[in-house]
Structure 1
Amino acid sequence: MKKNVFVIGLNEFNLNMLRHLRGADEIEFHGLLDPALFYETEEFDIPSLLKAAEEQLNAFDGSIDGIAGYMDFPVSTMLPIICERFDTASVSLEALLKCEHKYWSRLCQREAIPDHIPGFKAFDPFDNEALAHIGLGFPFFVKPIKGSGSRLGFRIDKPEDFDYAIERLRAEIGTISEPFDYILDQLQLPPDVSEIGGHYCIAEEIIGGRQCTMEGYVYDGKVTCTGLVDSIRYPQVLSFFRYQYPSRLPERIQDEMARLTDRIMTHVGYNNSSFNIEYFWDEQLDKVWLLEVNTRISQSHSDIFEKVDGVSNQQLTIDLALGRHPNMPSREGQFPIASKFFHRVFSGDARVKRAPTKEEIQAIQKDFPGTYILPQVEPGDWLSDLPEQDSYSYALAYIYMGAQDEESLLSNYERVLERLPFELEKVDDTFSRPAEESQPPA
C-alpha cells in the first residue's frame, strides 16, 4: 500500500516536483491546510491553524505516515507540534527554536563557533532607550527575533534610521510576535531566553561578502551537506538577481562551511530534519560568517536542484518525514548549472497594465528547454500590494533555467526577458525610505 504523506500548504508547483522524487510512485501526497492560508496573508492564528490541521488529519480514513512542510514561519514552527501529536518523524521543538529564535540561535552559535558570528544584542523596540541599550556602533542591522521572509529588517547608519525602524517595528511586529509567542509558550525556555519574547528584536554588527546557502539534513544524528547555492545580487543594489547552483566558491571555503554546519547543528541537537544555513565569505579577510539558520529546505532552490542533481531538495523533506534516510542523488540532472532568476523593476509603485499570457509563457518555455516561468503579477495588480518584497524593487516574475555553462545561462536569460511582455503604468512615487533588509534574514 502507498504511504500517506501530508504536506502543509502544498501548492501545484511543489506538488509537481514531489511527483518526480525517487520513490514517489509509492507515496500518496495530500495537502494539509489551504496554501492561501500561508501564501496570501501575513497574519497567522496559530491555535486555529493547528486545530484545523488536527481536524483534517483526524478525519482522514487511512494511515498517516508522514507530515511535512517546506515553508518558513509559521509552517516551520507548527510542524514539530503537529508531528508530535500524530507520532510522526520530526525535529524536536526545542532544537528547532534554537535555530528559529534569532537571539537563542546566536547564543548557541557563540558557544559553538564564536569566531564566525557578529556581535549582537537583543532589544525591546518599545523601550524608549533602546538605542542606548544596544551598545553597537553605527552601522548595524536590526530585525525581529523571528523573521518572516524579508520583513522588517533595517540597516541603521544613523539615529534617524533607528527612529524610522522603531516606528515601523512598533506598528507591524505584532503580526510576527503574537503567533511566535504562542509557539514559545509550548516550551520551557532557559532563563537567558525566556524574557526575550516574540516582540523583541536583535541588533547585529555588519557582516558581508559573497553570500551563499548551505542545504543539508540531519538523520540519526549525522549531519550531511547536500549542496551550496550562490546568492547573487544585482550590481550596486541589494536585491537578489539569481540563486545559482552549484556554487562557484573555492572548495576550501565550501569545506569550511560544511565543518561549521556540522558543528552548529550537532551543538543544538538538531536531528531528523532538513535545514539551510546562510553564510558570507569575506574575500578580503578570507573569513566565513554565519548569517542565520533556517529549519527547512529552501523551496526557491527546489527546481535548480532538480535540474542539476536529478530530483529536488524536496527529497530530503519527504524521506525525513517518513523517518528514513534521504535518497538524494548528486549531479544526475539534465544540466550542469541552473538558476532561479528574479525579474525585477527598480522604481516606485505602478499598476500592471499587461502581463504575459499562459500561451506566451508556454511558447517561451518550449523554445528554451528546462525553463519555467512563474509570473508574480497579473493585470490590474499594484506593485505595492505584492507580499514579501524588498525595499528596492518589485519582482515581476521568477524564471528557472538550466544550461551547460554560466555564459549560456545568462545569455538565454536575456533572450527570455526580451520576449516577456510586462507593461506597467507608473505613478509618482520614489523609494526615499532608509535602507531596509540590506542583510536579508532569508
Structure 2
Amino acid sequence: MLVRQSNDNQERDVFVDAGDWTSRRLILAGDGVDYSIHDTTMKAGTHTLLAYPHHLESAYCIEGEGELEDTVSGERYPLKPGTLYSLNRSDRIRLHAETDVRLICNLMPALAGTETLDSEGGYPLVPEARPALRKKNVFVVNLNEFNLGRLKSIRNADNYNFLKLLDASDVLEQTHYDIDAILTKARNTLQQYPGEVDGLIHYIDFPVSTTVPILCQEFGLPSASLEAVLKCEHKFWSRYEQAQCIADHIPKFAAFDPFDDDALDRMGMAFPFWVKPIKSFSSYLGFRIDDRDDWDHAIKEIRAHIGRFQGPFDALLERVDMPAEVANIGGGDCIAESIIGGRMCTQEGFVHKGKLRVYGTVDSLREPNGSSFSSYQYPSRLPARVRKRMTEIVEIFLSHIGYDNAPFNVEFFWDANTDQIWLLEVNPRISESHADLFRKVDGASHHEVSADLSLGARPRLPYRDGEFAYAGKFFIRSFRDAFVKNVPDGDALAEVARQVPDTIVRITCEPGKKLSELMDQDSYSYAMAIMWIGASSPAKLQKNFEKAVELLDFDLEPIG
C-alpha cells in the first residue's frame, strides 16, 4: 500500500512546466503502479490539443472554467468544477481554458516522469512505463516479411502482436479459390488462439477483401459490412449504386454474358470501350475494345479464364440481398464501360464512425501503351482543388452504400482539358502497393490506418515525417513474352541498395519459366520486377529508377 501526504512530500513530486500548462506528477510508473496521477493546471487563454495514441485518461475539474471541443464531431462541452471527462485512443479534443483550469488527472499506462505532449497532443510510451494495457492481438491475412516490416514501421507497433492468418497458398495466385475452405481454416485458427482476438486486417484483393468482413462479423470485430464491400467489389453493382448518387462522374456502362454470341449487339456500346469481368483484380482479363477483332480476342481469353472467379464470387453474393437490377449478374458476367481518361490517381482514406478522411493521394503514371502502369508516385502533383473534389465525390458514394469502419482506396481520372473528374473504382482496403510510399514520405506505412481501425480507433497517420520528400513504386516490364534464362542475383540487389539507399526490389519472374506463366498480369505486359524508391524530387526519383534499372540485368530469350 502507498500512503503519501502531498503537501509534506513535494520533493518527491515531479513538476513539469510545458508553457501552456503545468503539472505536478503525484504518482508515476516508478511507484510500481500501472497508472499515474497528476495535479495539472491549464493556463488561462490557452488552447491545448489532447489526443492520446497510447494512453487512456480520466480528468476531474476542481477549479476554473473553460470548454472541451471534440475536434472530430465538432461538439463542445462546458468545463467547470465538477466536470469529469474520459478519453480513449480514438478521441481527439481541444481544451480551451478561459481561466486557469485545475484538473486531477489519471493516466494509464503510467507516465515515467517529465513527459510532455507532442505536437499531435499525445504522450510517448516510454520503456519505463508499466504496460497496463496489454498488447493487442491483431491477425493479418497472409502476413509476410515485407508487410511485417511495414507494420513494424508504424508508431505504436510495440502495442501489437501481429499474427499470421492464412497462407499465400490459400489466398494468392490460385487457379481456384474455395471460399468455404478459406473461412473454415481462418475460423479454426482464430478459435484455437489461446488469447484474445482483438483485430483482423488485410491488404489483399479478392478473395481476402470479401471474406474478412464475414470473419469480423462472426468474431465481433470492427469492419465494414459484407454488403457494403460487395457494392465496391462487384463492378456492375458498384456502377449501379454510383449512378444513383454520382452519375456525372462515371462512364456509360452495361453488363453482358461473355458466353452470349450476340452480346456485342445487345449492349449497344459504341467503340471504343473497355471490358472486364464483374470481379477481377490488377487489370486481369481487362481489354480495350477498338473494333470487332479486339472483341473476338478478348472474349476468347475471358471465356477461357473467367471461371477462376465465378464460383467463389457467386458463393459470396448468396450471403447478401441484391437489388433486382443486379441480382442476375454474377461472377461469370462482365461489364463494358465507355472510355474515360486523363491524369490518374488513387486516394487512400478511411471511414470511422461515419467520418471520412483522405490522408494521401498517389499519382498513377502509365506506359506509352496507355494500359500498363509505369509507376505510382507520392505525394500527388494534382491541384489541391481537384483532390478536394475527388474526396467529396467518394464521400458521397461511400455514405450512400453505408461503408464504415474500414479503409479504402479509390481510383480517379482528371481530364485537365474539361476539368471533368471520373471515378474508376473503389477498393475496400489499403493498397499494399502504396505502403512503402507512405513509410518513405510520412514516416509510417498506412498499415497503421488498418491497425487502428481493426481496434475500433480513429487513425492518426503521421504527416511528412519520413526520410524522403517523394517516393515511387516502379515497374520493370516486358511487352513481349520471353523465356527467362536468368534474373539479377543477390550481388546486383545489394549494389542497388548501396547506390540507391532504402530501395526495395522484388523480382517477380523466375529462371526457367516464360513470362506468360506469371499470374494476375494485365493484358498487355509482364511485370518482371517491382521497386520502391525514395528521392528529394520527382526528377531525382526518375533518375534513381533509371540507375537501378542499369544495375539489374535480365537475360531473356524472345519467344516467336
TM-score (structure 1 length as normaliser): 0.94
Higher relative contact order (CA 8 A, sep 6+): 1
> What is the DSSP-based 3-state SS (H/G/I as helix, E as strand, rest coil) of the residue aligned with 1:414?
helix
Amino acid at match of 1:426: P
Any residues of structure 2 matched to 1:275-286 within 5 Å, and which?
275-286=408-419
Aligned residue for 1:130?
263
Q: Is the 8 A contact 1:178 1:198 kept in 2?
A: yes
Any residues of structure 2 matched to 1:411-430 within 5 Å, and which?
411-428=543-560
Aligned residue for 1:340?
473
Q: Is the 8 A contact 2:485 2:512 kept in 1?
A: yes
Over the matched positions of the two proteins, sequence identity in percent amounts to: 49
Amino acid at match of 1:387: M
Aligned residue for 2:145?
12
Q: Provide the C-alpha distance between the structure 1 equivalents of 2:506 and 2:292, rounded to a whole number of angstroms.
A: 40
Q: Provide the C-alpha distance between the structure 2 equivalents of 1:88 and 1:251, rounded to a whole number of angstroms.
A: 35
Any residues of structure 2 matched to 1:8-407 within 5 Å, and which?
8-347=141-480, 349-407=481-539
Kindly provide the CA deviation profile for residues 178-228 of structure 1, in whole angstroms up to 9, marking residues without a partner as x: 100000011122222211122111111111111111110000100100111
Q: Which runs of 5+ in 1 are unaligned?
A: 429-442
Q: Is the 8 A contact 1:139 1:205 kept in 2?
A: yes
> What is the DSSP-based 3-state SS (H/G/I as helix, E as strand, rest coil) of the residue aligned with 1:397?
strand
Deviates more, 1:229-238 or 1:169-178: 229-238
Deviates more, 1:386-395 or 1:302-311: 386-395
Count of matched residue positions in the alignment of Structure 1 and Structure 2: 427
Q: Provide the C-alpha distance between the structure 2 equivalents of 1:188 and 1:407, rounded to a whole number of angstroms.
A: 50
Q: Provide the C-alpha distance between the structure 2 equivalents of 1:236 and 1:350, rounded to a whole number of angstroms.
A: 19
Q: How far off is 1:240 after superposition? A: 1.0
Q: Is the 8 A contact 1:22 1:327 kept in 2?
A: no
Q: How far off is 1:237 after superposition? A: 4.2
Q: Is the 8 A contact 1:274 1:296 kept in 2?
A: yes
Q: Provide the C-alpha distance between the structure 2 equivalents of 1:236 and 1:179, rounded to a whole number of angstroms.
A: 32
Amino acid at match of 1:360: A
> What is the DSSP-based 3-state SS (H/G/I as helix, E as strand, rest coil) of the residue aligned with 1:198?
coil
Q: How far off is 1:56 after superposition? A: 1.2
Q: Provide the C-alpha distance between the structure 1 equivalents of 2:496 and 2:291, rounded to a whole number of angstroms.
A: 47
Q: Provide the C-alpha distance between the structure 2 equivalents of 1:83 and 1:124, rounded to a whole number of angstroms.
A: 33
Q: Provide the C-alpha distance between the structure 2 equivalents of 1:180 and 1:71, rounded to a whole number of angstroms.
A: 15
Q: How far off is 1:54 after superposition? A: 0.7
Amino acid at match of 1:390: D
Q: Provide the C-alpha distance between the structure 1 equivalents of 2:391 and 2:321, rounded to a whole number of angstroms.
A: 31
Q: How far off is 1:417 after superposition? A: 1.1
Q: Which has the higher strand share?
A: 2
Q: Provide the C-alpha distance between the structure 2 equivalents of 1:238 and 1:143, rounded to a whole number of angstroms.
A: 13
Q: How far off is 1:153 after superposition? A: 1.1
Amino acid at match of 1:101: H
Q: Is the 8 A contact 2:350 2:408 kept in 1?
A: yes
Q: Is the 8 A contact 1:320 1:326 kept in 2?
A: yes
Amino acid at match of 1:218: V
The CA RMSD measured in Å over matched residues stands at: 1.3
Distance 1:170 1:235, change over 3 A: closer
> What is the DSSP-based 3-state SS (H/G/I as helix, E as strand, rest coil) of the residue aligned with 1:407?
helix
TM-score (structure 2 length as normaliser): 0.75
Aligned residue for 1:437?
none
Q: How far off is 1:236 after superposition? A: 4.4
> What is the DSSP-based 3-state SS (H/G/I as helix, E as strand, rest coil) of the residue aligned with 1:413?
helix
Kindly provide the CA deviation profile for residues 235-284 of structure 1, in whole angstroms up to 9, marking residues without a partner as x: 34422111000111111111111111211111111000000110001122
Amino acid at match of 2:286: G
Q: Provide the C-alpha distance between the structure 2 equivalents of 1:139 and 1:360, rounded to a whole number of angstroms.
A: 43
Q: Provide the C-alpha distance between the structure 1 equivalents of 2:168 and 2:369, rounded to a whole number of angstroms.
A: 35
Q: Provide the C-alpha distance between the structure 1 equivalents of 2:321 and 2:269, rounded to a whole number of angstroms.
A: 30
> What is the DSSP-based 3-state SS (H/G/I as helix, E as strand, rest coil) of the residue aligned with 1:121?
strand
Q: Provide the C-alpha distance between the structure 2 equivalents of 1:350 and 1:40, rounded to a whole number of angstroms.
A: 20
Q: Is the 8 A contact 2:232 2:238 kept in 1?
A: yes
Kindly provide the CA deviation profile for residues 21-47 of structure 1, in whole angstroms up to 9, marking residues without a partner as x: 121101011110112322342421111
Q: Provide the C-alpha distance between the structure 2 equivalents of 1:266 and 1:225, rounded to a whole number of angstroms.
A: 14
Amino acid at match of 1:423: D
Distance 1:312 1:42, change over 3 A: farther
